[in-house]
Structure formats: C-alpha cells, structure tokens
A = this chain, B = another copy of it.
Amino acid sequence: MAINYPNGKKFIPPKDQPAKQTANPKKKKDLSFSNRGKTLEDELNETNDYYLQLGLAVIHKKPVPLQIVKVEYPSRSAAVIREAYFQAPSTTDYNGVWNGRYVDFEAKETQNKTSFPLKNIHDHQIHHMSKVVKQNGTAFMIIRFSSWQRYFIMPFNELEVFWNRMMTGGRKSITLQEIEETSFEITPGAFPRIDYLPLLNKL
C-alpha cells in the first residue's frame, strides 16, 4: 500500500535514534523533552492516554501475566510479592473499544533495517488474533523499525499469510518491502506520537 507523508517531504531516517532491542523492552531512558530513547510501549501508552483523555477510544495495555508464588504481609505496609515468575501471555498486549468496535493488537519493534523477524511473535498470539477476527473484531500488529523510526499497521489477515509461509518452511521474517506493500504506514507525530486510530477505518 502507498506510503503517504502528508507534508510531502521525503522520509529521512533520523541518525540520533539509539537502536532498541526487541528482546528487552524494559530497558528505557527517560528523555521527557523528546521522543528519543522511548520504547514503542512508551509511545503507545502515551497515545492511548491521549485517546482516553479526549474520549476517542478506550484502549489499554494488559498487565504482564505473572505466576505469584510467595507473598509477604509486613505489618502496617503493603503486601510484598517475594517470588513470582513471568508467564507466556495467552493474548496480545493491547485491546479496547473504539466507536463500538473491538480493537486488539500486538506491538513489536525491531532494530533490523530490512526485515521484521517473526520470532518476535508467539504462536498463541496468532491464534488469539485469528479468534478475534472470527468474532468480527479488529486485530492487527503495530511494527516499529526503530532504526528508521518508521511505524506500520499490518492487518491480521496479512500477518497470517506471512506466518503461514514460515510455518510451511518459508522465510522466518517479513521484508520491509513486503510490509510496505501490505501494511498502512503511520506517520509519527508530536502528540500523539503514533496516531493509529484514523488508519483503522481502512482495515
């Protein structure tokens, strides 16, 4: 699909963006005066807060699922969890409602420059999105190429094609060109940073 820059400018990859590891989304810097160093999660949380404040949509990130094993109750203070383990999520990270529509997505960033590795996605997340679409929900993936500061919305039905290609022995990633051809590009703005809602009308 066409890449549109509303201001007519040619895309210039910023050079001062530190590359982010997809594997470690918790590593973040706090540079509140700019978007430099922000994780995709930070940017989406801010965008969703903006939508919430303006009454445009109610979309939240789900908490990380944990198996809690041991909790202590110190006197006169809050309960402290002393032993817990990360669990594999059975759904995507984000969901909510917009104009009566159920919206459900996963967000992933990569520092790769030419392709998006599918190992970033879990099998059960694909199954979950497939079920959402069967219930007439809107499911998609937001991909950030951190090196280029480029953002895409890939509809689930397109993602599923690439997933099935991998599952039948094909390549384990989606090339940037394939993403350009099958996804909608989000032009990053100042506020909100990732204004993805208007693109959902095209899905």
Listed in ascending order, the chain A residues whose CB lies under 8 Å from chain B are 52, 55, 57-58, 60, 62-66, 68, 78-86, 90-91, 95-102, 104, 128, 131-132, 134-137
Flag if A84 contacts B81 (CB, 8 Å): yes
Flag if A85 contacts B81 (CB, 8 Å): yes
When chains A and B are docked, how far (Å) is the Cα of A131 from the Cα of B51? 11
When chains A and B are docked, how far (Å) is the Cα of A62 from the Cα of B61? 10
Residues of the B chain whose Cβ atoms lie less than 8 Å from the Cβ of A85: 78-81
Please pick, from B66, B82, B83, B135, the residue contacting A66 in the complex, using a CB distance under 8 A. Answer: B66
Please pick, from B55, B64, B101, B131, the residue contacting A55 in the complex, using a CB distance under 8 A. Answer: B131
Please pick, from B63, B134, B135, the residue contacting A62 in the complex, using a CB distance under 8 A. Answer: B63
| Given known A-B contacts A58-B128, A80-B85, A96 and B102 have beta carbons under 8 A apart | yes
Question: What 16 new A-B contacts, CB under 8 Å, besides A55-B134, A63-B63, A97-B132?
Answer: A55-B131, A58-B128, A78-B85, A79-B86, A80-B83, A80-B85, A81-B83, A81-B84, A82-B82, A97-B102, A97-B137, A98-B135, A99-B136, A100-B101, A100-B135, A101-B102
Please pick, from B79, B98, B99, B131, the residue contacting A52 in the complex, using a CB distance under 8 A. Answer: B131
Flag if A99 contacts B131 (CB, 8 Å): no
